[in-house]
């Protein structure tokens, strides 16, 4: 990894670039999102070149976390752009990254990674598999108190047409709770 003097500035720069890429993706600015992700990839190149099983806790903090987030947003960008196969590839890379790291990823990172992989599967037509995984992840997120991820898993169930009446009602309840807690629910056209 890079020397200690570069460690935190690099992590901060990667985090900012990836956050801006995600924001631009949410605004349907795909080109801007792609360019920001390309810049983040350069910043994190040495992290991605190594086997995650070799990462230390410091490696996770100053690059591995960013690398994982970059894979998430790349997968989402591919889904939004209609390239389901590329979305699956980036999501699978994220799943393998998390599986290879012993120290660092939290339960939240692991659930979100699996959720993005399930959404990528739905984007290539595997709605049944995506629904099975989303249902499991909704329960895991609920058990961990991760309401935004529980809502996202519930949204995936809704999106693939697999939500039961009870799950649809829970989805509405989750959205109401999250709105009360300050989570905005707007679309790009509302901005």
- Same-domain status, 46 and 99: yes
pTM: 0.91
- Same-domain status, 78 and 10: yes
- Same-domain status, 190 and 101: no
Q: How far is CA 105 from CA 37, 56, 178, 183, in A?
A: 21, 11, 24, 24
Which residue range is the domain that position 162 belongs to?
134-191
Least confident range from 60-69, 77-86, 114-123: namely 60-69
Domain count within the chain: 2
Percent of the chain past pLDDT 90, that is, above it, reads 76
Which phi and psi angles does 169 have, rounded to 5°?
A: -65, -40
Find the distance separating the first CA and the last CA of the chain, reported in whole Å: 40
Under the phi-then-psi rule, with left for phi > 0, alpha for psi from -120 to 50, and beta for the rest, what region is 64? alpha
pLDDT tens digit string along 1-32?
A: 444 667 788 889 999 999 999 999 999 999 99
CA distance 166 to 173: 11
pLDDT tens digit string along 116-137?
A: 999 999 999 999 999 999 999 9
Averaged over 47-76, what is the pLDDT? Answer: 89
- Same-domain status, 93 and 28: yes
Of all helices (H) and strands (E), which one includes residue 171? helix 165-180
- Same-domain status, 143 and 72: no
- Same-domain status, 111 and 17: yes
Last residue of a domain, one of 125, 149, 168: 125
CA distance 99 to 116: 15
């Amino acid at each position: 990894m890079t020397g200690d003097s570069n460690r935190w500035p690099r992590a901060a720069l990667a985090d900012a670039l990836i956050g801006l890429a995600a924001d631009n993706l949410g605004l349907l600015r795909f080109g801007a999102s792609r360019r920001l992700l390309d810049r983040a990839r350069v910043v994190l190149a040495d992290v991605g070149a190594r086997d995650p099983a070799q990462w230390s806790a410091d490696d996770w903090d100053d690059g591995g976390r960013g690398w994982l987030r970059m894979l998430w947003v790349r997968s989402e960008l591919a889904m939004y752009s209609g390239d389901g196969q590329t979305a699956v590839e980036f999501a699978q890379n994220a799943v393998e990254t998390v599986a290879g790291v012993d120290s660092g990823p939290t339960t939240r990172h692991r659930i979100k990674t699996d959720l993005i992989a399930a959404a990528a599967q739905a984007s290539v037509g595997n709605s049944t598999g995506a629904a099975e995984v989303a249902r499991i992840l909704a329960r895991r997120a609920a058990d961990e108190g991760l309401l935004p991820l529980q809502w996202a898993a519930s949204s995936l169930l809704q999106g693939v047409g697999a939500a039961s009446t009870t799950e649809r009602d829970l989805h509405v309840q989750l959205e109401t709770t999250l709105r009360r807690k300050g989570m905005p629910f707007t679309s790009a056209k509302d901005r």
